[in-house]
Structure 1
Amino acid sequence: MVVWVPGGPNFVIEISSASNPASAEKLVFARDVGAFPLWVRFGKGGIETIDGVMVLDIRDTVRGVCEAGA
């Protein structure tokens, strides 16, 4: 998702359940052109650290909600 704010910062948000190289590439591109990249992770697997890319790890929260509903 891209959020474009005229005269303000642009945001590129990737929401994914797995570490995907294509997602990382998109976020690095966004960072390199001056946007604020945010990677929201909610699934399993590790989380890659990328300089200049903010990662929001909600895996434990999602897991807790799923377990509470079971």
Structure 2
Amino acid sequence: MPEAAAVAHDTAVYFLCGCAGDGGGGGGGRMLNFLERVAAKYGCIGAPLSLRSVQRVASHIGMAADAQFVTA
């Protein structure tokens, strides 16, 4: 589903670029589809994740969003 892909994208950008809307780390907030959703879920991240960890988290979030759509 397109929304699941967008949520997975937002999660990856958020972890790769820093806190959404903080004005730092490449301006992650400007690249997000669901800024409020990601910021509410993760807050402001501290230690950066490895690229593999970012991929894993984004994949899990995308699959969870897809599952919510299917059950609805």
TM interval, shorter chain, is under 0.3
Task: Tell me which protein shows more strand as a share of its residues.
Answer: 1
Q: Which has the larger radius of gyration?
A: 1
Higher relative contact order (CA 8 A, sep 6+): 2
